[in-house]
Chain A
Amino acid sequence: MIELILMPLAAFVIGLAMVLMMRRIGARLQRRVGPPLLQPLWDIIKLHGKETQTSHGLIHELGIVMAIGGFVAAVTLMPLPGMNGLAEQGGLIALVYMMMIPSLGLALGVGQCANPNGSIGISRALTAMLAYDIPMVIVVFGVAFFYGSTSLVQIIDAQQAGGFATWGIAEMPLLAFAGLFAMQAMLGKQPFEIYVAPAEIATGPMVEMGGKFLGGLFIMQCFQLYAAGALYTLLFLGGGENWLTFLIKVFAVVAIPMSIAFLFPRYRTEDVVRLVWKWPAMIGLLGIAFLMY
C-alpha cells in the first residue's frame, strides 16, 4: 500500500526535476543562464497563491482534478525499481488508456470556459492525439507481442535477463525509433507544439487557465514528462535495475525530445497528422513485420 503513495510522489519529484532540466536545456541552447534549482516548485506555489482565480464553473475545476488524478493513478501502473505498484493488476493496454483520462479532463475543463479559442485548442489537441497515438499503439503492440505479455513486470524481467542485448532497443530498434518519434508529439513539444500554443496567450487550451488552474496543469506536466520518460524506459531500456540506472535512463530519454524541441519551429496540426502517420507509424509497422516474420 505504501508503494501506491510513494510512486506518485516519486513521479512528481522526478517530473519537477525534468521541468527544470527542460528549461536548463533551453537556456543552454539559447545562451541564457536558466532558472535556479527550485524554480519549478516556486512556480507551482506562486500560481496557487495568486489572488485572482477565475473559475468558469464546476467542470472547469473538475477538469483540473481529473487531469492530475488520472496521472496520479497512471504512474502507479509503471513499475519502479523495487516497487511494482499496480503493474500486475493493469498491464500495458490499461496504462495507455489510463493516460488518456487527463486529456479528457483537460478537454472538459477547457470546454466549459466558453472561449472559442480554447475549444479550437482542444480540437487541435485531440487531432494531435489521433496522430501520435497510432504509432504509439503500434509500438505498444510490438513490445507486448515480442515479449508475449502485456504485463510490464514481465516485460522488464525479460529485458533484464540478458543485459543490454535483451533490451527492447537492441531487440526492436525500429520500434524504439518510432516510439521516440511518437513521444515527441505526445509531449506536445516543438515541432509539434501548436496544439498547446504556449507562445500565444490568446489561443490554445490554456487561454482561460490562470492561477491554480495553470498551477494544476503545471503539476500535470510534471507527471506527463515523467510518465513519457518512464514508459519509454520500461518498454525499451530494460526498466530500472536500481534507482540510479533508472533515473539516468528516464532523464536521458526526456532530454532527447527537449533538445530537439528547441531547435525546431512548428508544424500545423494537419501536417503533424500527415507526418506522424507516415514516418513513425510506417517504421513501427515495419518493426512489427520484422518481429513476426
Chain B
Amino acid sequence: MTSLDHLVLVSALTLALMLLFGRMRIAGRLAVVLYAVQFLLLMQTGALLGEPVASSLTLSVLDLQMHWRYDALSWFFAMITIGAGFFCAWYAAGVWQERYREEGHSPRLFHVALAANVLTMLILLGSGDLLSLFIGWELVSWASFLLMAVGGGPAGRAALRYLVYAFSGGMAILAGLMLIYTQTGSLDYARVLSLLGELSDGQVWLLLLLIGGGFAVKMGLLPFHLWQAAAYAETPGPGSSFLGAISARMGLYALIMLLVAMLGIGRLTAMEVPFTFLSARDLIAWIAALTVIIPTYIALQQHDARYLLAWHGIGQGGYMLLGLMVGNAVGSAGGLFHVFTYGITQAALLMAVFAVVHRTGTADLNKLGGLVARMPLTFLVLLFGIISLAGLPPMAGFVSKWMVYRSLVAEGMPLLFVAAVVGTLGTILSVYKLIHNIFLGQLRIEHEQVREAPLSMLLPMLGLSTLIFLVGVTPGPALSWVAAVQASLGLPPVPYTLGGIEDPRGGLDMLWLVGILMAGFGVGALIFFGLGGRSKRVHQLDNYAGGHFLTADVRYQYSDNFYAGLMHLIGPWYRGAFLWLEKALTATVAFLSAVMNGFYRYAQPALFVLATAVALLALTTA
C-alpha cells in the first residue's frame, strides 16, 4: 500500500460513508473531517517535491496496462480539489443542510454527489496512461452530472445539456485515442511521448482537434462554453461553489497533459495554421483570449447573481490557458497559479451569493439591494472576492493576473495583452454591479429584518476570504508549489520570493505593496475620521433625491440594465451567434435521427440492417 492508495481509499470511504449515513444529521460534519483527512494524506504523499508516487493497483485490459501515479501537477490540482471539497462540505454541514432537507431535497444525495466528485477527480488526476485518463475523464463527467442534476427542475435540464456536450467530447477523445493507438501501438505516456514526435503535422492537428476539443468542452473553452453557466449556477449552494472552484479545471489539467506535457509548447509554435501567419500556439492563445472576453461580457448582461459568477468562471479559465500558452516562466506560472487563486475566489463568491439566497430567497439582482447593513460579514466576503476576481491589489487574484500580463509584455504580445485587460475591465464593471445590486443602494422593505448568514455558513466563507488576502500578501508559499509543478512539466520555474516575483526587468513584491496600501488607508482614515466635524449617520431608509423624499415603499433602486450607456453602444454586438450555432446543430441532428427513424420504420428493417452492416464493413476495411 502506497500513500496514494491510502488517499484514494479514504476518498472512497468518504463516498461509502455518505451513502450509508448521508441521511443522518452528523453526515455533514463527518464529511468535513473526512475531507480534512484526505487533505493530510495528500500532504503525506510528498508528490509535490519528491518523486512521483505510484499506486499499487494496476489493471490490464487486453494488452494495455493501466496504472495510476501522482506527480507535482496531480498534487497541485488534487490539493485544490480536496480543499474545495473541504470548504464546501463545511458550508453545507450545518444550517444549510437542515434547510435543504426542509425544502424536500435529500442531503444524502448531495453529500454522495460531492464525495463522488472528489473521488473521481482524484482518480482522474492520478491517471498514469491515456486509457486510465479516459476512464477517469468519463467518471468525472458522470459525477459532475450527478451533482448538477440533484437540484432537479432547471438544474436537471442544464445537467442534461452538459451531458450531451460531455458525451460528444468523450467520443471525440476516444477517437483521438484510437488514432494514437493505431499510430504508436500503445497508450502509455512514455511510449506515446517518444513516438509523438514522428507524427506528421496533419495528424497532430487531428489530435488537437479531437482530444483537445474534447477536453475543452469540460473547461468551457469557446465555442463549447454554452452549457457551463446554467449547469453550475443551478446546482445547490455548496455544490455550485465546488463546481465553480475546480470542476472545469479538470479540463485544464487534461489540456496541460496534452499541450504542455505531451506535445510541448515548442511543437505548437512550430506548427503553422494553413493560409495564415498564426502558429497553433497563437491560435490556442487567441481561443483563450476570446474565452476571456466573450463570457465576461455575457456575464455583464446577467441579472441573476449565480449566473453572473458562473459566466465569469468560464472567462477566468481563459486566463489560465492564456498564461500557459505564453509559456515562459512567469506566464505559465501565472496560468497555473490562477487555478488556485481563482478557485478560492470563486468558491468564496458563490458561497456569499448563496448565503444571500439563504436569507432572502432570491439571487435576482433586480430584487435585492442595501443588504450591507443587514449582512455586513457576507458583504466583506463578497468584497474580498470581487477585488480578487477583478484582479485588483491586494488580493490573490491580482498576483496571478499580474503574472499573465507581465509575461505578455515580456514576450511582446500587444493584442493578447489588450484582450486580457479588456476582460479584466469587463470583470470590474460586472462585479461592481453584483455588489451594488445586492448590498448597496436601496434596502427593500421586505428585507428590513434580514439577519446575517448563519455561523456554520459564515465560517468557511471567512476562512476562504482570509486565504484570499493572505495569498495576496504572501504569494511565495503558493508560488513554490507552482514552481515545483513547472519543474515537473519541463517548463522553466518561476523565480519567486515570499512577496512575489523576482525579475531584474520589473518584478513584484506584494509585501511592500500591501504594506503601503494599508498605510495609505491609514492616512486616509486619519484625514477622514481625524479632521473635520463629526458626521451624522442617517437611517438607511431615510433618503432624499432630486427634490423628493424617497420613501421605503417606493422602489427606486438603480439596478436593471445597469450599464445602459455602454449597452447602447455594444448591445447590438451581442448576437447570440453561438446559441444560433448550437440550435442549428441540434436541429440538424434531430432531423437526421427522424430520417433514420422513418427509414427504419417504413422501409424494410432487414434491408436497413443489411445496409448498415455493409456500410460498417466498408468503413472498417477501408
A residues in contact (CB < 8 Å) with B: 4, 8, 47-57, 59, 61, 64-74, 76, 86, 88-94, 97-98, 100-101, 104, 107-108, 111-117, 119-120, 122-124, 126-127, 129-130, 133-134, 137-138, 141-142, 144-145, 148-151, 154, 202, 207, 211-213, 215-216, 219, 268-270, 273-274, 285, 288, 292
Contacts and interface: CB of A to CB of B under 8 A. Distances in A.
Contacts of A123: 558, 562-565
B516 A76 contact: yes
A145 B417 CA distance: 11
A154 B443 CA distance: 51
Given A61-B535, A86-B516, A216-B527, A130 B443 contact: no
Most chain B CB within 10 A, of A112, A119, A273, is at: A119
Contact-size category for B? 35 or more
B521 interface: yes
B393 interface: yes
Interface string B528-566: 110111111110100101110010000011100011111
Interface in B417-463: 417-418, 421-422, 425-426, 428-429, 432, 435-436, 439-443
A73 B392 contact: no
Contacts of B532: 47-50, 53, 211-212, 215
Contacts of A207: 545
Given A71-B520, A100-B428, 4 more contacts: A61-B528, A150-B505, A212-B535, A274-B569
A89 B512 contact: yes
Interface stretch (B54-62, B398-406, B479-487): B398-406
A88 B502 CA distance: 10
Contact of A119 (B393, B441, B566): B441
A134 B531 contact: no
B373 A150 contact: no
A97 B540 contact: no
The 10 closest A-B pairs by CB, nearest first: A150-B506, A111-B440, A48-B532, A72-B520, A68-B524, A69-B524, A73-B520, A69-B521, A69-B520, A53-B535
A92 B528 contact: no
A89 B417 CA distance: 22
A90 B512 contact: yes
Most chain B CB within 10 A, of A4, A54, A59, A114, is at: A114
B506 A151 contact: yes
Given A59-B372, A120-B558, A150-B506, A270 B569 contact: yes
A76 to B, nearest CB: 5
Interface of B: 370, 372-373, 379, 383, 387, 391-393, 398, 402, 405-406, 408-409, 412, 414-415, 417-418, 421-422, 425-426, 428-429, 432, 435-436, 439-443, 499, 505-509, 511-513, 516-517, 519-525, 527-529, 531-538, 540, 543, 545-547, 550, 556-558, 562-566, 568-570
Contact of B517 (A73, A149, A150, A215): A73
A71 B409 CA distance: 25
Nearest to B559: A119
Nearest to A90: B513
Contact of A107 (B402, B425, B432, B534): B432
A177 B499 CA distance: 36
B454 to A, nearest CB: 23
B516 A53 contact: no
A91 B506 contact: yes
Contacts of B537: 55-57
Interface of A, helix, strand, loop or mixed by DSSP: helix
Contacts of A70: 517, 520
Nearest to B369: A114
A141 B412 CA distance: 9
Contact of A73 (B421, B516, B525, B557): B516
Contacts of A144: 409, 506
B513 A94 contact: yes
B334 to A, nearest CB: 12
Contact of A55 (B425, B426, B516, B535): B535
Contacts of B392: 97, 100-101, 104
Contact of B440 (A55, A59, A61): A59
A97 B391 contact: yes
B414 A98 contact: no
Contacts of B505: 148-151, 154
B535 A202 contact: no
Contact of B522 (A64, A67, A69): A69
Most chain A CB within 10 A, of B513, B516, B546, B568, is at: B516
Nearest to B383: A108
A113 B543 CA distance: 8
Contacts of A67: 524
B409 A133 contact: no
Contact of A108 (B402, B435, B442, B562): B435
27 contacts: A8-B520, A55-B535, A56-B537, A56-B540, A68-B520, A68-B523, A89-B508, A94-B513, A97-B393, A98-B513, A111-B435, A111-B439, A115-B550, A119-B557, A119-B562, A122-B432, A127-B429, A127-B565, A129-B428, A130-B428, A134-B421, A212-B532, A216-B527, A216-B528, A268-B565, A273-B566, A292-B412
Given A57-B540, A94-B393, A112-B372, A134 B418 contact: yes
Contacts of B387: 104
B538 A122 contact: no
A51 B505 CA distance: 51
Contact of A86 (B513, B524, B563): B513
A52 B532 CA distance: 11
Nearest to B522: A69
Contacts of A130: 425-426, 428-429, 566
A127 B563 CA distance: 7
A202 B546 contact: yes
Contacts of B550: 114-115
A102 to B, nearest CB: 9
A55 B534 CA distance: 10
Nearest to B408: A141
B432 A101 contact: no
Given A73-B519, A91-B507, A119-B441, A124 B528 contact: no
Contact of A66 (B412, B435, B516, B521): B521
B522 to A, nearest CB: 7
B533 A51 contact: yes
Most chain A CB within 10 A, of B440, B511, B512, is at: B440
A63 to B, nearest CB: 10
Contacts of A117: 545-546
Contacts of A219: 527
A56 B537 CA distance: 6
Nearest to A213: B535
A268 B546 CA distance: 21
Nearest to A75: B520
B452 to A, nearest CB: 15
Contact of A64 (B383, B398, B528): B528
Nearest to A70: B520
Nearest to B402: A93
A48 B533 contact: yes
A72 B524 contact: yes
A222 B210 CA distance: 57
A161 to B, nearest CB: 16
Given A57-B373, A65-B525, A115-B543, A90 B563 contact: no
Given A48-B533, A91-B508, A216-B527, A119 B414 contact: no
A144 B399 CA distance: 18
B522 A129 contact: no
Contacts of B383: 108
Contacts of B524: 64-69, 72, 216
Contacts of A113: 543
